[in-house]
Amino acid sequence: MRVLIVEDEPLVRQRLLRLCAELAGTRARFDAVEDLEAAGDRLQRNVYDGLLLDLNLAGEDGFELLRRAVSGRYHCVVVSAHRERALQAFEHGVLDFVPKPFARERLGQALERLLDAGRYRAGQARYLGIWRAQGTALVELADVVWIRADGDYSELRMRDGRSELHDKSLAGLGSLLPPDFVRCHRSYLVNLRHVRTLRAASGSRYWLVLGDGAELPVGRAHVAALRCQLGLE
């Protein structure tokens, strides 16, 4: 695996290079650049699998590169002193957010996630940021049972029965969600981890039976794919 470190502070950049090489051993090769222009040039000329990215690069915003990274093939870990931007980073689908100053052990945890390319894929978040009256919060996608279209927004139904509201549409969430989330109806995405079975009803109608006994409607166009995904073929 080949990883690009994007960090403008020379001492931090050298420490990241040294620690990553020690922690990864022969599993990865690391290069480092100091700004967005150099990072863009490297990514155009070379094939990289992942990024370790600072968000404040000599006054430039690392989110410009982050948006490009997570929409492409790159796995990404953010290493930044700006803890208040962690929520935004997770919404972009990063694997981890390591706050500065960081310890060797904490960097090692994030690096393991980055190197585990078979488990995580770029552009797919583990958390979603949701809006509440008291501010923003994170919800873990593994706890989301289904997502329903609600105008320009989306309603998230959690495993404990509560509902949360996300400010993106179903289509807008598509690039963030892991493969467990599939379309079962024009108005619903469902987390297959929480599906018990597919039930046929009268009139060629189908319903997904969830773990808690609740049911979701299934559009006819999605029946065949769901049968396959649930191993019912």
What single letter denotes the amino acid at residue 219? Answer: G
Residue 29: predicted pLDDT: 92
- List, for residues 120-138, the tens digit of each pLDDT value: 444 456 777 676 666 556 6
Residue 71: predicted pLDDT: 46
Q: Which two tokens stand for residue 79?
A: 């290493």
Q: Which residues, given as ranges, of the chain have pLDDT below 70?
A: 67-74, 117-125, 129, 131-138, 175-176, 233
Residue 128: phi and psi, rounded to 5, are -125, 140
Q: Which two tokens stand for residue 41?
A: 């040039």
The DSSP annotation for 93-105 comes to T-SEEEESS--HH
Residue 233: predicted pLDDT: 67
- List, for residues 59-70, the tens digit of each pLDDT value: 777 777 776 655
- Angle at alpha carbon of residue 30, lines to 25 and 34, rounded to 5°: 145
